[in-house]
Amino acid sequence: LDYFLIYGPSLKHILYRYTELTGRAPVPPKWSFGFWISRCGYKTRQEVEEVVREMRARGFPCDVLSLDPWWMGDGPWCTYEWDEERFPRPAEMMAELRRQGIRTCLWITPYIPAGTPLYEEGKARGYFIRRPDGSISPVLEAFAGRDLAAVDFTNPKAVEWFLSHLRRLLDMGAAVFKTDFGEQAPADALYHDGRSGLEMHNLYPLLYNRAVFELTRQYFGRGLTWGRSAYAGSQRYPVQWGGDSYSSLDQMSTQLLGLLSYGMSGVPFCSHDVGGFDYPPEAFDHPRQEDYPRDPVVYARWLQFGVFSSHVRAHGKQPREPWQYGPEVEAIAHRYLSLRYRLLPYICSEAVRSAQAGLPMVRPLVLEYQDDRSTWNIDHEYLFGESFLVAPVTSRDGRLSVYLPAGTWFDYWTKTPVEGGRWMDIQAPLDILPLWVRAGSIIPMGPEMDYVDQKPCDPLTLELYGPADEGEYVIFDEERPAIAVRYQRRHHQLLVQVGPAPGEVIVVLYGAAVRQASVNGRPAALEPLAQGTQVRFDGRQEAQLLLELA
């Protein structure tokens, strides 16, 4: 038994050293930060194409459609073979989705059902987990089937055999795999490398997700999974999500608790099922659960929370497409998903910083304000990256108490500055997620789009909130050149320097009045906004914006 003592005293430093030991998370592909739509589950090609057609017709941005196991037909699963009666010409289908800006995610497990040719092949080659007497150690997982064998990921030949079936699916057009399960590794087993089932039980999902992640990394250049089970070090193989939850506000609250706790375990990238996976708890007293009414309040509040998580996927037994919840919730969903896509320059930049430092994108307040005792027990609000403070609403009446740490914060919706170091009682209507921006922040935003990289980041909008003294922000955009933004405030002048951008740059200043502006020494027009002022200029070359403050 080995012990590691990691002394901070800063919690941030502890996470940095812990991930130095167990591994840092790579930054997932940029498109993974878009919206994922899913359901348990889409069962025909026609259904998939209707959902995508409706998504685009209603103007919703979306990057990934996830198919649960029915892409293989009815269970038991997993065979890694398309049911081409329900999904005829799957390569053609995925290519057509891709032309519309949508990638395909396929559900898999590492369990192979008895009675299939794949099972007989794996059994004959010794690729499954076995008992000490040589018999196959069965997996207890009723959802996928009742007679299952688990791939032995300590056997390199078994791993390559397993991945050969996934590689064929990638060749057909799949982009990512939902690596479900992995937590049922039998405890009575003896693995290929000699370790016992008890020794391997927690390691099994790590090895499972590592194999799939590395395959996608080799195939695409950047790796990705959508996994459920994990262990220390699983941050190296993002992304994981919070597993099955009921569709209720209290279950949304517990998913937030899990997200905060998981992030404090060195994991920057994780998610949850927007709307909840299962039916509302009350549905289990209903004679037909599938007919139980969908809850628009739960969906709207959960989607707001999801938009301000590292990754956002709507998924559940009931339909999770936004228009399924009525016109009001559809409008709310459109507003927040559009905002998510506009915030991609910020989200992708914070992803890089989080990966480098071993910090979660969803951060408990105590991680940033460790010396403020008021933050020690706060578990219902969080920081999204360095600048946003988010307080998801988990009550039906929209009431909640929010703590703002010391300093100045700007209400994101009204741009009103508020002094922190105090609690606030909030009444949030259904369309409002309580949201603040830390003073001094630079928030980069792009244009609205239907899918990630549909168009260049033109215009690039830079929102500055109450800048004082100096600040800087580097915008990271996958393989494209980084854009450095700096400001210096001296008395009644604010100098903003912006590195070369793809096109037009719009600088928006909140928290200070502006008398006049110049760009590279030439006068620039001021455009007044509610609570702010903006200036536009050609940003294709490095620019210096000088603002004369009132």
Catalytic residue among 81, 183, 214, 431: 183
Catalytic residue among 147, 214, 244, 379: 244
Nearest Cα neighbor of 415 from 506, 535, 530 is 530
Cα Rg of the chain (Å, integer) = 25
- The CA angle 234-218-28, to the nearest 5 degrees, is 50
**CB distance 150 to 191 below 8 Å:** no
Which tokens in the block code for residue 415? 């741009």
Give 118's contacts (C-beta < 8 A, 6+ positions apart): 79, 80, 112, 165
Q: How far apart (Å, rounded) are the C-alpha atoms in residues 432 and 445?
A: 20
Nearest Cα neighbor of 499 from 518, 476, 468 is 476
Nearest Cα neighbor of 73 from 88, 58, 92 is 88
- 180 is annotated as an active-site residue: yes
SS3 341: helix
In the block, residue with structure tokens 């989705």:
97
CA atoms within 13 A on the CB side of 287: 0
DSSP string, 107-161: EE-SEEETTSHHHHHHHHHT-B-B-TTSSB--EEETTTEEEEEEB-TTSHHHHHH
Give, in order, the Cα–Cα distances in Å from 449 to each of 105, 423, 455. Answer: 21, 37, 7
**Residue 312 Cα to chain centre, angstroms:** 5
Catalytic residue among 180, 330, 368, 386: 180
The residues annotated with a catalytic role in the active site are 180, 183, 244
